Structure 1
Amino acid sequence: METIGPGTGDPHPSGLSVAGQRRRLALAGVRGHVAKGRDFTHQALVDWGWDGNETADDVLLLVSELLTNASLHAGGCVELVLTAGPALRIEVFDGTTTLPRRHPSPQRGVPGGHGLYIVERLSDRWGSSVHDHGKAVWAEVEASRLASGRPAGE
């Protein structure tokens, strides 16, 4: 999208840089929080021009996995935070200080134990950090992958 410069008729970009933009979604006690988190993330990707490619689909899966893991293993989600920069940072806050652990040997075709493997596979980096009221589990996807739609690992 472009606008015309005042008095000159010269086009110049109208969009602001997405770097440093942050969006927060409160999820404590919210029903359907995984779907709400995916919708919230999808809208951020659209607004930031990072939608419509395989990597954006991977981001939506990452959000689903992180939110589901918080629900199943950490007593529920408190907040989803998305931060744009050189990488998209996805943070899911919950109310426990127990750090996530990958299942030692998830079985192929059997439900459960695969979530953090999916997070590890689709993200460029992931981790967790404890804070005063619980923890945040985060994943990052390089902005260059979102802009180009290049699949993970390439």
Structure 2
Amino acid sequence: MSSGLRPDPSVQRRRLALFGTRGVVGRCRDFTHEALDDWGWPRPAGPGADRGDGAGERSEDVLLLVSEIVTNACLHAGGPSELSLEQRGLRLRIEVADGSPELPRRRPTAGPAQPGGHGLMVLERLAGRWGAERRGTGKVVWAEVLRPGP
């Protein structure tokens, strides 16, 4: 017997199961880039190029958010177990699951010009919203961004 409920065609999802830390950031960026292409997001302009409309910058922001969240899972949680992307209308939600129940927290840094310790600042600047929640014995760190207009 059918419930009469149909999947919402404006919702698109992709999931990538992950194991370990070697090469995982690059795999996640490639996976995300392919999903954004398939979903019709503007392509990043590339180094030194100027599109003039800034639309590709939002795609680049998404790739940077994925890199930061996955890198943090590698550094602080033994590596991610899954990357999930969900586009619902104009909103894209990025989720990275890992096996550590410890929620993200700011760590002291040597200064804004020094490398390391800036992952949460990147999330705060680029994501419309972000957060973390415990799931099972681990957690999910998520970020949401709006798709650029036509």
- Same fold? TM cut 0.5: yes
Counterpart in the other structure of 2:4 = none
- Output the TM-score relative to the length of structure 1: 0.79
Q: Is 1:78 aligned with 2:69?
A: no
In structure 2, the residue corresponding to 1:35 is in which secondary structure? helix
- Output the TM-score relative to the length of structure 2: 0.81
Match of 2:24 among 21, 33, 49: 33
Counterpart in the other structure of 2:103 = 99
Gaps of 5+ in 1: 1-16, 149-154
What count of residue pairs does the alignment treat as equivalent? 130
Match of 2:141 among 129, 137, 141: 137
Superposed counterparts of 1:5-20, under 5 Å? 19-20=10-11
Q: Identity of aligned pairs, percent?
A: 56
Counterpart in the other structure of 1:64 = 67
Counterpart in the other structure of 2:3 = none
In structure 2, the residue corresponding to 1:97 is in which secondary structure? coil
Counterpart in the other structure of 1:113 = 117
Distance 1:39 1:18 in 2: 24
Counterpart in the other structure of 1:46 = 37
CA RMSD, Structure 1 to Structure 2 (Å): 1.7
Distance 1:92 1:79 in 2: 6
In structure 2, the residue corresponding to 1:84 is in which secondary structure? strand
Distance 2:9 2:37 in 1: 11
Gaps of 5+ in 2: 1-7, 44-55
